[in-house]
């Protein structure tokens, strides 16, 4: 089957190009206006010297609505436009304005060249992905919330007790590494790897139902390691590092909740070496479901505890950064 672009398709393609160009111009104008205000307003210069707590904003509710709106737009673009659009919205938060415009312009230029090169046939994945990334960056630039410098609370001191805990984490990592080294992909892993090879980094692969589960992050990891699926080494490293991160977060939470005591090592050691966690260290699909859940659960509890003790939302957000 061959694809021949008809008149409506060419009109739609031209309209999309004009819309992307309009978005790029509007983003450039907004960036210029922001730079002009920063250079000419004394209030902006004074704002750069305020404390981190003051820089977090006097109206946290307004900032929260801004973040919720950004997340909603990113999710809609992820579902409608595919993973590259969602990636563009996410990248727009961390990229500076100049770099964002340069990357967006480059992505749209690549999309235009790839579409022109494929004229007379269906545009390939490069053209579609670059166009989606460019549009996602521009839309993300329009709706992104303003990032603020958040004060990170001090970490627990590295005393003898913490040193012993870190040695236990190292022992757990060594044990999990030996366990994973003798393992291999199993059951669901083969299905996910096959789809990663067949569909690639597309919406059909990432946003799909699998036995009632929506696992976008897990599918991203499968796509990343699909080129190394002949060996279980990369998958084993992912499992070991994720487990080590969860263990360190648990120790930080215990030191935050309770006073310094050697008795903290008892539940911590039970968590590190319980046989109940061995299946997540050997089966990649199970580990990708259970270990990130532990990481985010422990990080959320840690942020909640610090927020309640300091009565500032900035502390909770700073914990999770």
- For the segment 3-50, what is each residue's pLDDT rounded down to a tens digit? 444 556 555 556 666 666 666 566 566 555 555 565 665 444 444 444
**27: Cβ contacts below 8 Å, ≥ 6 apart:** 100, 101, 104, 138, 141, 142
**60: pLDDT strictly greater than 60:** no
Residue extents of the structural domains in the chain: 7-143, 160-184+232-320
Cα-based angle 285, 206, 116 (whole degrees, multiple of 5): 145
For 213, phi and psi rounded to 5 degrees?
-115, 145
Q: How many residues does the chain have?
A: 321
If pLDDT is split at 50, 70 and 90, which confidence band does 172 have?
very high
Candidate from 8-17, 108-117, 286-295 with smallest mean pLDDT: 8-17
If pLDDT is split at 50, 70 and 90, which confidence band does 180 have?
confident
Residues 6, 7, 8, 13: is their CA dihedral positive or negative?
A: positive
pLDDT at 17: 60
Centre a 10 Å sphere on the Cβ of residue 250 and count the other Cβ atoms it contains: 22
Grouping H, G, I as helix, E, B as strand and the rest as coil, residue 213 is strand
pLDDT digits (tens, 9 = 90+) for 152-166: 555 555 688 999 999
């Amino acid at each position: 089957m061959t694809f021949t672009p008809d008149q409506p398709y060419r009109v739609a393609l031209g309209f999309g190009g004009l819309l992307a160009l309009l978005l790029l111009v509007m983003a450039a104008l907004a960036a210029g206006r922001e730079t002009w205000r920063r250079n000419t307003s004394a209030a902006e210069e004074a704002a750069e010297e305020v404390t981190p707590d003051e820089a977090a904003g006097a109206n946290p509710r307004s900032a929260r609505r801004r973040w919720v709106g950004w997340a909603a737009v990113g999710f809609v673009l992820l579902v409608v436009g595919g993973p590259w659009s969602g990636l563009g919205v996410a990248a727009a938060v961390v990229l500076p304005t100049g770099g964002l415009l340069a990357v967006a312009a480059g992505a749209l230029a690549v999309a235009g060249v790839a579409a022109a090169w494929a004229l007379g046939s269906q545009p390939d994945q490069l053209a579609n992905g670059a166009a989606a990334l460019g549009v996602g960056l521009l839309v993300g630039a329009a709706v992104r919330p303003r990032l603020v410098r958040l004060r990170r609370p001090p970490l627990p001191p590295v005393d003898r007790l913490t040193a012993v805990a870190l040695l236990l984490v190292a022992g757990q990592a060594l044990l999990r590494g030996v366990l994973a080294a003798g393992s291999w992909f199993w059951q669901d892993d083969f299905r996910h790897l096959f789809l990663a090879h067949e569909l690639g980094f597309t919406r059909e692969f990432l946003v799909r139902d699998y036995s009632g589960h929506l696992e976008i992050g897990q599918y991203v990891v499968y796509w990343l390691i699909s080129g190394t699926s002949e060996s279980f080494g990369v998958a084993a490293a992912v499992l070991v590092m994720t487990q080590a991160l969860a263990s360190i977060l648990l120790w930080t939470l215990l030191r935050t909740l309770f006073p310094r005591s050697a008795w903290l090592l008892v539940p911590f050691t039970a968590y590190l070496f319980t046989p109940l966690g061995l299946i997540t260290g050997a089966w990649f699909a199970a580990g990708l479901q259970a270990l990130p859940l532990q990481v985010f659960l422990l990080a959320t509890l840690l942020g909640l505890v610090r927020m309640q003790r300091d009565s500032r939302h900035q502390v909770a957000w700073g914990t999770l950064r």
